[in-house]
Amino acid sequence: MTANPTRIGVIGAGIIGMSSAYRLQTELVNTKVTVVADAFTPNLTSDGSGGLWELYDFFNTKPERIRKWGKDTYAYLKKLCLSPESRIAGTSFLRVITLSRQAIELPSFANEVEHCRKLLKEELETRFPQCSDGFSFTSMTCEPKIYLPWLSQKFMVAGGEMRQEKVSDLSVFCDQYDLVINCAGLMASTLANDSSLYPIRGQVIKVKGVDCLNGILLKPFYILPGLEIATLGGTHEKDNDDTTVDENAKEMIMKGCCELEPSFKNAVVEMDWVGLRPARRNGVRLELDTSFHPTTKVIHNYGHAGIGVTTHWGCAEEVLSLARQCLEVASKAAS
């Protein structure tokens, strides 16, 4: 007789929550994973992201952890981009040009990606005369508005369940499951009593009708071509939770991006989008919590701010490893 499945509850349906849920459902034996959230794609913060893989050190998170998560995600996305499912998953290769008005070095992740090199003086003078330095590398986009429905469908086909419901008490939620994964983003400030969380407001413009082959970054502006829609950004406003569109910011973004790529003057605006990135003053929280609930362990996985796409698969790998440890202990205790 088959034993009852291990019940795992995941809070949050963004790219961090869904990748964790999918890996738990497909890589653990005899497991029933339920994702519970008050909103699902396409109404999530993740959905507005341009979906670029771009690694950078995130304050108060150990750089070696960030690089490990990013490296694992890069390898996964590369494999997905080369697969027949690439387009329906919303993934594609993209050459990224990072520019600066002053001298810069190659990034710390230069050895982790393909084709990373400094831009030649002639390239800058011809294409970006307003910049004095830059580098390019091969990256990938993983567009959450396409990727999340694809991953959610694969999760449900594998036996996972998705339930729309607002979780207001983490302790009560824990009563229902053998293991809980907290990917609640900004809501973790209440659920996990974490006062170090804060929003970073991001505003972007979604456009179409322009063929642009490269991603272009010159802080604070960026151009991220997608499979059908390009994302022009952006803003990075700490402790600002206003989700209304700022017309002045929109004008600034469009002007800055058109200076980088003049062809976007002819772009058709599809929509304006504002989202709140879930940042954490103490860095990303990915850890096992054995003290929150008397019988159910909690794995926290939140506070990724703008590096959710870049690290999501690697973070899900660590969640999976922690879950295996928990379940092995539980199995031995039961025997």
Question: Does this model's pTM top 0.85?
Answer: yes
Sorted by sequence, the CB contacts under 8 Å of residue 39 that are 6+ apart come out as 13, 164
pLDDT tens for 291-326 read: 999 999 999 999 999 999 999 999 999 999 999 999
Residue among 73, 49, 57 nearest 310 (CA)? 73
Q: How many helices (H) and strands (E) does the chain have?
A: 9, 15
CA R_g for the chain? 21
Contact 311, 304 (CB under 8 A): yes
Residue 262: half-sphere exposure toward Cβ, Cα within 13 Å: 2
Contact 40, 152 (CB under 8 A): yes
Instruction: Report CA dihedral (252, 303, 242, 215) to the nearest 10 degrees.
Output: 20
Supply the pLDDT for residue 1: 43
Tokens 């999918």, located at residue = 22
Contact 232, 207 (CB under 8 A): yes
Supply the pLDDT for residue 335: 39
Question: Is residue 304 packed enough to be buried (19+ CB in 10 Å), middle (13-18) or exposed (0-12)?
Answer: buried
Supply the pLDDT for residue 313: 98
- Widest Cα–Cα separation across the chain: 72
Amino acid identity, position 211: D
3-state secondary structure of 305: helix
pLDDT tens for 15-58 read: 999 999 999 999 999 999 999 999 999 989 888 889 999 998 77
pLDDT tens for 230-272 read: 999 999 999 999 999 999 999 999 999 999 999 999 999 999 9
* pLDDT for 196 beyond 70: yes
Question: Is residue 113 packed enough to be buried (19+ CB in 10 Å), middle (13-18) or exposed (0-12)?
Answer: buried
Residue 100 in tokens: 């600066």
